[in-house]
Amino acid sequence: MSAALPPLHSLDPIGPGHRVTLGETLPLKLDCGLDLGPYQIAYTTYGKLNADRSNAVLVCHALTGDQHVANVNPITGKPGWWTTMIGPGKVIDTDRFFVICSNVLGGCLGSSGPKDSDPSTGKPYGLRFPVITIRDMVNAQAMLLDHLGIQQLFCAIGGSMGGMQVLQWAASYPERVFAAIPIACAAKHSAQNIAFHEVGRQAIYADPQWHKGDYFEHNTIPRAGLAVARMAAHITYLSEAALHRKFGRNLQNRERITYGFETEFQVESYLLHQGSSFVERFDANSYLYITRAMDYFDLAGQAGGVLANVFQGTKTRFCVVSFTSDWLFPTTENKEIVRALNAAAANVSFVEIETDKGHDAFLLDEPVMFATLQGFIDGCAEQRGLNGRSEKGGRA
């Protein structure tokens, strides 16, 4: 495995961003029943908040994402994970909007999580960190917005687990979200998705270097187990068609098969790289916590089992986006959200985008997605009384 990068816990994950301590006076009441406070949230911002504080856009990141959405990532040295969507003149135009992205609670890029020191012991929390939920993540983000003096978001947007957070925002704080864009997600995590997450967790538990979560005390990390977890998950982010197009049965640096157990096919090499690079940037315990948060997500369960109840009376404008080849959060699950929103008489657009790129399409160059969201955002901005698009112009 690659050892080119220094270990995650020796780096400053904040990079060009900020970190704030919250919950000092009033703690965060977690779904598990515990109070958390003080705790820290790391975040980045782009653009300027306007005078009436009406142009804020909250970007919610996915399972292994982070707050470095449009700046160079200080851990990997790579561009931010959504530079296709966010920046000057882009769909989420940083010349027009004040964009905020925070590392989720339980994460490992500067927000409080299992990697942090437990003040009561001086050692990393490990599994002693309280179990968190998507709603806890959103409540922490709401306290960050309070801190920033932002009463209402112009828009909350995110894909995958980011989309779950967007839905939770609209459910928990309808008056604080003018427009909501949940992409490639679901209102509850399916049995198959729980199963894939459990495989990943079991791979981590199976690694003796995990030490029941206390690996930092043993000066190690469960590298092999976390890599296997990432490899299994990564397959689910793509589509069979994309894997076939990219790799097919092509061999890795050889003309013919060698009849052995070394890396033989390009798709194997690709997966191995996904696994080994992931362990350089992500904490194994955070992976456990965040997958668990997704598994627990069941928005209807917060309202007597009826999803439409969650959104009753909402004034938020929704744009739900799915992808034809996404088998992790297939269109049927996105449509359940749309059906519930319609049943709640909400203002909702829905677009299923034709692509063979699978679940990860939301991170990629998808012109139809950009055009759809540009139109939706422009319309909402007009309704919100925001100035027109920046003079630099957008993609369209």
Under DSSP, the state recorded for 322 is E
Annotation marks residue 365 as catalytic: no
Question: What Rg do the C-alpha atoms of the chain give, in angstroms?
Answer: 21
Of the pair 31, 95, the CB lying nearest its own copies is at 31
How far, in Å, CA of 131 to CA of 125, rounded?
A: 11
Asked if residue 248 binds its own copies (CB under 8 A), the reply is yes
Under DSSP, the state recorded for 23 is -
Minimum CB separation of residue 228 from its own copies in Å reads 5
360 is in an annotated binding site: yes
Annotation marks residue 35 as catalytic: no
How far, in Å, CA of 195 to CA of 33, rounded?
A: 26
Annotation marks residue 160 as catalytic: yes
Asked if residue 290 binds its own copies (CB under 8 A), the reply is no
**Catalytic residue selected from 61, 189, 197, 359:** 359
Asked if residue 268 binds its own copies (CB under 8 A), the reply is yes
The residues with which 352 forms a beta bridge, in sequence order, are: 322
Torsion sign, CA atoms 241, 245, 251, 253:
negative
317 is in an annotated binding site: no
Asked if residue 280 binds its own copies (CB under 8 A), the reply is no
Cβ(11)–Cβ(76) below 8 Å: no
- Measured CA to CA in angstroms, residue 55 lies from 49, 58, 140, 211, 349 at distances of 6, 10, 20, 46, 21
Asked if residue 257 binds its own copies (CB under 8 A), the reply is yes
The residues with which 323 forms a beta bridge, in sequence order, are: 353
- Measured CA to CA in angstroms, residue 254 lies from 225, 257, 263, 266, 268 at distances of 28, 7, 10, 10, 13
Of the pair 193, 372, the CB lying nearest its own copies is at 193
Compute how many residues bind its own copies; rule: CB under 8 A. Answer: 56
Q: Which among 383, 349, 388 is positioned nearest to 369, based on CA atoms?
A: 349
Asked if residue 298 binds its own copies (CB under 8 A), the reply is yes
Binding mask 13-52 for its own copies (x = CB under 8 A): ------------------xxx-------------------
Asked if residue 235 binds its own copies (CB under 8 A), the reply is yes
Q: Which among 330, 327, 334, 367 is positioned nearest to 349, based on CA atoms?
A: 334
Asked if residue 206 binds its own copies (CB under 8 A), the reply is yes
Of the pair 243, 368, the CB lying nearest its own copies is at 243
Half-sphere exposure of 297 (CA within 13 A, CB side): 32
Give me 118's structure tokens.
């437990």
Minimum CB separation of residue 224 from its own copies in Å reads 4
How far, in Å, CA of 188 to CA of 333, rounded?
A: 8
Q: Which residues bind to its own copies, rule: CB under 8 A?
A: 31-33, 127, 130-131, 188-192, 194-196, 198-199, 201-203, 205-208, 224-225, 227-228, 231-232, 235, 238, 240, 243-244, 246-249, 257, 259-261, 264-265, 267-268, 271-272, 275, 288, 292, 295-296, 298, 327, 330
Binding positions for substrate: 230, 360
List residues with catalytic annotation: 160, 326, 359
